[in-house]
Chains A and B, each alone.
Chain A
Amino acid sequence: EDQVTQSPEALRLQEGESSSLNCSYTVSGLRGLFWYRQDPGKGPEFLFTLYSAGEEKEKERLKATLTKKESFLHITAPKPEDSATYLCAVINFGNEKLTFGTGTRLTIIP
């Protein structure tokens, strides 16, 4: 059974204070690891897909990295509009479902 654990559950940062969110995973054969952003009452918004250890992707203030056991979402100099819940999900070969973690609720204080 695929498993995803995200930490911390919640994180409060001052505007401009950089930090990282962690996603640890157990999967039989990783086909892809996804990061999504979710605002309250909305559906998840796609951010990144990572496919193999060592891969990195960047988008504005966000950078996602992947190892064989975990992924990090680094946020550099965050702004209040970056406040949201960040979800990590994995999918394995021979499977069609995304397995999600419970998310990290990020709050950026002006």
Chain B
Amino acid sequence: DAGVTQSPTHLIKTRGQQVTLRCSPKSGHDTVSWYQQALGQGPQFIFQYYEEEERQRGNFPDRFSGHQFPNYSSELNVNALLLGDSALYLCASSWPSRGEDGYTFGSGTRLTVV
């Protein structure tokens, strides 16, 4: 049973560029959340998608946007990259019943902005 799959695993971008990160949720999960984790910090909530709509958003600027597709996969887009956007970006999937293992994380995409 495949868990949460994220791509790419590593990415280097130049300041001002745009980036798209991808996530395929765990089989049976229909809700996708995105988190940003800076070095030495806990993950910070960016937003959550359910039924192709943004259900909740954290304290991130509009440069961060997302999308969920009919097959429940999701994309995170970041425009006008800043050096401070360098971090590990994590995708977590879950299901409405929020059972015991309701929040499953992928291995993340390491984004470096230079």
Binding site for B on A (CB under 8 A): 4, 32, 34, 36, 41-46, 49, 87, 89, 95-103
Contacts and interface: CB of A to CB of B under 8 A. Distances in A.
B40 A46 contact: no
Q: What is the size category of the interface that chain B forms with chain A? A: 20 to 34
Interface in B26-72: 33, 35, 40-45, 48, 55-56, 58
19 contacts: A41-B108, A42-B107, A43-B4, A43-B106, A43-B107, A44-B105, A46-B101, A49-B102, A89-B43, A96-B33, A96-B48, A96-B56, A97-B45, A97-B48, A98-B33, A98-B35, A98-B92, A101-B42, A102-B40
A41 B110 contact: yes
A103 B42 CA distance: 6
Interface of B: 4, 6, 33, 35, 40-45, 48, 55-56, 58, 88, 90, 92, 98, 100-108, 110
Given A96-B56, A97-B48, A98-B45, 17 more contacts: A32-B98, A34-B103, A41-B110, A42-B107, A43-B4, A43-B108, A46-B101, A49-B100, A95-B56, A96-B48, A97-B58, A98-B35, A98-B43, A100-B43, A100-B44, A102-B40, A103-B42
